[in-house]
Amino acid sequence: MKIVLAQQNYHIGNFESNTQKIIDGINEAKRQKADLVVFSELCICGYPPRDFVEFNDFINKCYEAIDRIKEHADTIGVLVGSPARNPTIEGKDLFNAAFLLYDKQVKGEVHKTLLPTYDIFDEYRYFEPAYEWKVLEFKGKRLAVTICEDIWNLGDNPLYRSAPMDKLMEQNPDLMINLSASPFDYIHEEERQSIIKANVLKYKLPMFYCNATGSQTEIVFDGASLIFDKNGKLCKALPLFDEAIDGVILNEDGTTNCETPSDIKPISQYKPNPTELDYERNISFIHRALVFGIRDYFTKMNFKQAILGSSGGIDSAVTLALACEALGKDNVRAILMPSPYSTSHSVDDAVNLSKKLQNPYDIIRIDQVYESLLGTLKPVFNDLPFSIAEENLQSRTRGNLLMAIANKFNYILLNTSNKSELATGYGTLYGDMAGGLGVLGDCYKMQIYTLAKYINRNEEIIPDNIITKPPSAELRPDQKDIDSLPDYPVLDQVLYQYIERRQGPNEIKAKGFDAQLVDRIIKLVNTNEYKRNQFCPIIRISPKAFGVGRRMPIVGKYLS
């Protein structure tokens, strides 16, 4: 039996596009002489549909799409993911389901058992977990079909009574198939292959794992669909961050005739989950995810061009380089806005960067606007000494100018803030925190330096002076980031322990970090939640990003 995986990029709620894409995938699978083609989790509507599934019309359109698709499942079996109504109306009225289509009919339906409610996931809000488990019969084969999270419990998780595959094994299946929408992060990429292989070794069955690709606002799905034979041999790996349709012929004994893909490193070479932030970890994947996230967000939102403030600093430089790669150099406009406190080398560095990237840029000095605002505020400010108010006024002036140009020319403003700044509140609301998409908001400062070096791996794109000079907001004379924040190498490590690893202050201090410094950093994180709550969507590349995956009360007092 030949089984192929259709790794595709769907658009949430775009039923016409998704349906046609699936039909095209079926036709390609037929061309490859496949017996069965497998699509990803909730491919009919796109993942995650969130509150769209609360609309009855949305679910009706899912069923209408299935009716259209099944007409093409004539000589080939098709497995698709879609919400399914719960006919018993016990519990919630929907299941997260997989449908087997064949001979222009719905031949079977299975439901997801383990509904994740952590990080970015909130499936139990919408779906009822499966309460019965059955293999699907197809051309003499017994298919154990599961959906995403179902294979992540191997029966050793105390949160669950048993693994779904344990139930399905009672019916003597011939192979395992998993429809997934598993997002990218720089740790999960390695864990995923390991857990899939662990299922194969436990149940001694081949595994066909089909994952979605594409970016859905802040969440990036990387694809990387996999096929293992019953012995745990990796037989096929579909590409990362791209669409593909490919598969293997499964022999009667559960093996295939494929060689192990050469571009996949053995699981034994993977590092365990890091206890410290590793700046080099999967940096090439992070780079690809960010470029992919920008491009797909613009494509699906029908945006064409981007704008950003180019300061001559590392964050704006990396953002500009990524955006030019994602959207094309002619579609990214950089605005240089020097103030009375900007250094000449910052302007020169930003100009040199745009010349190397060949993107359009403008220089708009903000001195006059800034002085005019200070004059307007003088009766209110009186003769009070220079403070953060005057600093932030420069940032908000820049934000206003960027948004004015964006409105005039239909650009989308890319935000350049990094995770270290967002965590500690080192940013100005309605100023440098303005934007429609946060490109680097899930990258710590030192990761951004690593990204810059990766971007320069073949030639100098980002000028070396941008990488080597001390970071500064340049909002007052001789200002440096270190005047307000701890050294970034230390700051990032403490933030990583608190945010990604959810370590409390005593646990972090026990690692050797200065006690007062830990208390100060955690207080900064907790007291600036109100700022992050007003921030734009952030492309997620870590296991714990600000936004939908990290929900903290604004008025909370914990450790603050």
Q: Active-site positions?
A: 41, 112, 148
Ramachandran assignment for 201, one of left (phi > 0), alpha (psi -120 to 50 degrees), beta (any other): alpha
Per-position b or e across 512-546, b if 16+ CB within 10 A of its CB: ebeeebbebbbebbbbbbebbeebbbbbbbbbbbb
Q: Which helix (H) or strand (E) holds 327?
A: helix 314-327
Which one, of 514, 520, 495, 483, lies nearest residue 444 by Cα?
495
18 with 243: CB under 8 angstroms?
no
Return the sign of the alpha-carbon dihedral for residues 336, 340, 341, 346: positive
Q: What are phi and psi of 317, to 5 degrees?
A: -65, -45
357 with 320: CB under 8 angstroms?
yes
Distances, alpha carbon 461 to alpha carbons 37, 305, 320, 350, 457, in Å: 43, 21, 11, 12, 9
Report the SS3 class of residue 508: helix
Within 10 Å of residue 101's Cβ, how many Cβ atoms?
Answer: 24
Cis peptide leading into 48, omega within 30 of 0?
yes
Place of tokens 């179902």: 150
The distance from CA 107 to its chain's CA centroid, rounded to whole angstroms, is: 34
Q: Which helix (H) or strand (E) holds 176?
A: strand 175-180
* Tokens found for residue 545: 């990003």
| DSSP secondary structure letters along 26-59 | HHHHHHTT-SEEE--TTTTT-S--GGGGGSHHHH
Measured at the CA of 150, the angle between CA 21 and CA 18, to 5 degrees, comes to: 10
Place of tokens 């997801």: 112
* Tokens found for residue 468: 């080597």
- By residue count, the chain amounts to 560
312 with 350: CB under 8 angstroms?
yes
